[in-house]
Each structure stands twice: as structure tokens, then as C-alpha cells.
Amino acid sequence: MSRFLMLTPDGTSPGSETTRTKLQPVQQRLVLNTAPIIIPDTNIPVGRQPFRDASALRSDRERHRDTHIFKRRGDSVIDIPVCLGASPLGAEEDLCLKDDFGICKALILNAYLDYLFRSGREIFSYSPVEFLARDDLLSESVPRDTVCPDWMSVRLRYQIDIRMHQTDSAQGMPVIALALRTAIVLDGSCADLAAYGLDLVGKYVLTEPDKIDPRLRPRRRLAGRIIGTADKKLLLDDTRADETSIEAGKAFLEPRRENLRFCMQAIFGEKSETIWHRLFTRMWEANEGKAKLNKIQGVLSFLARQNLELCPGVSFQIGDLQAEGAGCTSFPMVSRETPPVYVFGPSQKTDTWHNRGLEKFGPYDQSTFTPVLLGLR
């Protein structure tokens, strides 16, 4: 169980009789970044067809992306219509939603993917669904008299996943999990960067494949390291294949922190350090526990109000964030591990809480430690 220290404003712990700080373990109420999903107890029409091979399944998914989702079940493939007017492609049968968590998960993620795509969000992946917020922390850190290129940004990246929490019930409880982190976006090609006078030799670059799903941002892959340029092409080594060159307009820097600073120094010049410190502060504030929890609560509340459908006529609901106690019956089971035993000296000088043991016994080597005189030169 997590612990923290509680101190009064004057520096003493509650109930302390002296001015010396006494540390007391205080149990923390746990709050998860998950919320229960209420799935209706209903049957939906699906199709079942024989599984041929992975290529055929991939082709079916691409051909019917807007109308059906597909899930393999052993030697069969289940297709589920997800838009009004669509019918099962295989032999029709009824499926109880609650009996198949995998299909429920796929339907929920597909509903969020379609909604975010219609809302104009940049989406990175389908399972889990990852998308970017519109706010740009880098632009907010740049002075008003300075222009920030639109291909360079630092944004909040949300991740939506569907999981199963084990409860006292044999079936468990489906939950939506929402995670948040900051993401660096470098969408300027190496040709764009060269226009700013950046020397890219020695940098690793990515290439962008063709889109497979128009709703998703293409997933870039590593191409190699730049060793030179020739005729608007980048010469590469340390490549994954036999490609020894790539067009500068089709290559991108890795979205790493050192590459962001590299671009900022070239574009912002002497202002780059000030902007970097402002940006770092905003990134830290966005990842601070309380701020992150508030953002997650806000996004979950917004998603819960959208009343999305799994398939025509079948919607689902999202509950509140799961918190320990406070009447939350959906909180998963919590088990307490045996606490470690800290040793502070011979003759049974032990304790199961490190700070209390230090207060009581002092460090293990207090009787043998010899201070070293510092020699200043």
C-alpha cells in the first residue's frame, strides 16, 4: 500500500509533543485511472464465416472498414455490422454481447476511433486508441513576438484502452482505462529542416509508409543514419534494409527530446534556452499527479456524455473513476503485501517502516562511521 508523510504547518507531525519532526505512516486512498463500463445485456446479429488466411482477413477488414469489424475465433471469423443498414456478411447468428469481452472491446474502441476521426483528431493507433490533444505546450511557451513552426509541437497524448478487472464476480468487470503523457511532434521533413540551415549528418531518420487506415496517422519506421546528402537525397548507413538513400522530403527526425532542442536552437536562436525552460515547466505541470488526474476526469466525463453506440441501436455507458472507499462497489480487489524488514543494526534493531526505524535506531553504521574531513583546493 502506498504511503506518504503528514506534517503540520509548523513542521511537526500531528500529535507530536516536541518540535522534532516525528513521521507517521498514513494510508492513502487509491484512485485508479479506470471507470466501469456498463454493457447492455442484449443480443446482436453477427456473421460467421470460415477463416481462410491472414491475408484474406486483412483484405476483408480494409474492404469493409466503414461498415463492419472482424474478430477471429479459432477456425472462424466473426463479422459485426457497425453502421445503420449493414448486414452480416457470413452465416447470420445472434451473439450475446456480455459473453464475448473481445468483441465488446473491439466495438467500444471502434466507436471511439470513429468519433475522434469525425472530430478531426490526430489518431496514432486503434488498440489502444491513442490521439493528440489540440493544445500545444510549445506554442504556449514561445514569446508573442516569436513564430513557432506548425510542424514542431509538444502536445498531450491520450490513450484509451478497454480492460477486464477481476472482481468477486466470476465474469469480472469491463473498464475503460485512460492514460496521459506529453508527446513531441516533429512533422517537418528533413528538406524543411535543411531550409533552416540545420546540419543533419549523424541523425537517425524515419520514413513514413503509405496509409493503411485513413483514420490513423501512418506509423513511421526507422530508415537509418544520415552520412551525407546528394541531389536532394539523404545518404544513409546503419539501415534496416538495402536502402542506402532516401528523399529528404520523405524523411523525418525521431521525435526525441534532444532532436526537439536541436531544432529549437536553430529556429529560436538565443531565445531557445528561455523557451525550453518554460516548456519544461509546462511539461512537468501537465505530468504532475493532481493535474493529470483532473485532465483524465475531464476527458472521461466528456466521453461519457457522447452516448456512442457499439452497433446500431446498442449504446454503452461509462461510470465514474474508481476510487477506494467512498461507496465505490466497483473497485477491484486489493491485497496487502508483507512489508519488508529494515535492519538498522545488530541485536534486533529492525522495523517495517524505514523512517520510523531511523528515528528510533539511527543508521546502521552510526557507531562505526568516521566523518571525513573535506580537503578544499
Mean pLDDT within 340-359: 86
SS3 249: helix
pLDDT recorded at residue 375: 63
User: How does residue 368 score in pLDDT terms, banded at 50, 70 and 90?
Assistant: low
Q: Is the pLDDT of residue 346 over 60?
A: yes
**Grid cell 446479429 — which residue?**
45
Name the band, by pLDDT with cuts 50, 70 and 90, for residue 56. Answer: very high
CA 36 to CA 321: how far, in whole Å?
Answer: 8
pLDDT exceeds cutoff 90 at 344 = no
Beta strand 129-136 with 245-247: parallel, antiparallel or unpaired? unpaired
pLDDT given at position 240: 77
The pLDDT-based confidence of 230 (bands split at 50, 70, 90) is confident
**Looking at residues 135-157, what average pLDDT do you find?**
93
CB-neighbour burial class of residue 371 (10 A; exposed 0-12, middle 13-18, buried 19+): exposed
Average the pLDDT over 254-266 and give the result. 94
Q: What is the pLDDT at residue 196?
A: 87
The more confident residue out of 232 and 48 is 48
Can you tell me the mean pLDDT for 11-25?
Answer: 45
Listed in sequence order, the residues at least 6 apart from 279 whose beta carbon sits closer than 8 Å to its beta carbon are 137, 138, 141, 154
Nearest Cα to Cα of residue 336 among 351, 350, 326, 324: 324
Task: Label residue 357 by pLDDT band (50, 70, 90).
Answer: confident
* pLDDT value at residue 6: 37
Which of 7-21, 25-39, 181-195 shows the lowest mean pLDDT across its residues? 7-21
- Non-local (6+) Cβ contacts of 127 within 8 A are 105, 106, 109, 161
Q: What share of the chain is helix, strand, coil (3-state, %, to 5)?
A: 25, 30, 40
